Amino acid sequence: MQSALYVSLSAQVAMEKRLNTIANNIANMNTGGFRADEIKFEEVLSTVGKSDVAFASSGENFISRRTGPIIKTDNPLDVAIQGDAWFSFVTPSGTAYTRDGRMKMSENGDLQTIAGYAVLDSGGAPIALDPNAGPPTVGRDGSIMQSNNQVGSLGLFRLSNDSKLQRFGNSGVFSSVPGEAVQDFTSIAVQQGYSEGSNVNPIMEMTKMIALQRTFDSASTTIQETEGTLMSAIRTLGPAT
């Protein structure tokens, strides 16, 4: 039995997954703080036959940690991170992290993400502001001031490169290893009045999509040619009637 048929099928499965990933990235290219999905591909070797045959695996998803563009908003509750760090917020499923610094203040003064989750300080506690003290001022170290008094501090956390990230919502992630609170703000800072956009490169994603569609079509052609060869061999070598 010809292995080209199964190699082509495995390639199509891998490419279909990649196409779905690219489509999701493009759909979120304007989502604040969105981290693009990438796929790491591998070869799967089969030694059933006389020679090794390399099949394409369906690939392993991972979340890109590239930074997105910093956008000026002049909103005092919008903050962007400069450097390798993440904000933290609490969800019903546990602590999540995000680069989306668009925040809001509830009627009671609770500092929340756009989706309404409580933003945490470096100690993992929710941050409460004074709703009657006017807009807050946020320092480069995340300290929050109102009426010349410090009322809280944004928690900034580093996520280990070895930690596996799992998506939560549009812009949040869960980390397999808890984040470590940032103590040194030499290379990391918070910038008030700015927010970070999606790290999706739409031109690159569209280029990848076009290339994958062409490759998918080529794999389909290979499958059709292989099936045609098999049918021809069956007709030629089959028993005469």
Residue 54 CA to residue 10 CA, distance in Å, equals 10
User: What are the tens digits of pLDDT across the range 112-134?
Assistant: 999 999 999 999 999 999 999 98
92 near 107, Cβ under 8 Å?
no
What is the pLDDT at residue 208?
84
What is the pLDDT at residue 83?
95
In this structure, are 100 and 157 located in the same domain? yes
What is the pLDDT at residue 225?
59
Q: 91, 13, 94: which is closest to 55 by C-alpha?
A: 13
Torsion of CA 174, 36, 126, 133, to 10 degrees: 180
Query: In terms of DSSP H, where are the helices of the chain?
Result: 3-27, 202-237
Q: Position of tokens 């009322």?
A: 151
In this structure, are 163 and 96 located in the same domain? yes
Residue 17 CA to residue 214 CA, distance in Å, equals 15
Q: Provide the mean pLDDT of the chain.
A: 85
What is the pLDDT at residue 18?
83
In this structure, are 133 and 221 located in the same domain? no
Query: Mean per-residue pLDDT for 137-146?
Result: 96
Per the structure, how many domains does the chain have? 2
228 near 20, Cβ under 8 Å?
no
Residue 234 CA to residue 134 CA, distance in Å, equals 82
Residue 217 CA to residue 234 CA, distance in Å, equals 26
The confidence band for 188, taking pLDDT boundaries of 50, 70 and 90, is: very high
Q: Which residues contact 59 (CB under 8 A, 6 or more apart)?
A: 14, 17, 18, 39, 40, 41, 42
In this structure, are 184 and 106 located in the same domain? yes
232 near 226, Cβ under 8 Å?
no
Residue 149 CA to residue 152 CA, distance in Å, equals 9
Residue 14 has pLDDT above 50, yes or no: yes
Domain residue limits at 190? 70-196
Least confident piece of the model among 102-116, 175-189, 216-230 = 216-230
In this structure, are 101 and 37 located in the same domain? no
The confidence band for 233, taking pLDDT boundaries of 50, 70 and 90, is: low
Beta pairing partners, 22? none
Residue 211 has pLDDT above 60, yes or no: yes
83 secondary structure, DSSP code: S
Encode 117-186 in three state secondary structure: CEEECCCCCECECCCCCCCCEECCCCEEEECCEEEEECCCEECCCCCCEEEECCCEEEECCCCEECCCCC
pTM of the model: 0.79
In this structure, are 85 and 192 located in the same domain? yes
In this structure, are 125 and 178 located in the same domain? yes
What is the pLDDT at residue 55?
47
213 or 48, higher pLDDT: 213
In this structure, are 160 and 215 located in the same domain? no
In this structure, are 166 and 222 located in the same domain? no
User: What are the tens digits of pLDDT across the range 32-63?
Assistant: 999 999 877 554 444 445 555 554 555 678 89
Beta pairing partners, 97? 88, 173
In this structure, are 119 and 181 located in the same domain? yes
In this structure, are 53 and 149 located in the same domain? no
In this structure, are 222 and 179 located in the same domain? no
Tallying the residues shown for the chain, one arrives at 241
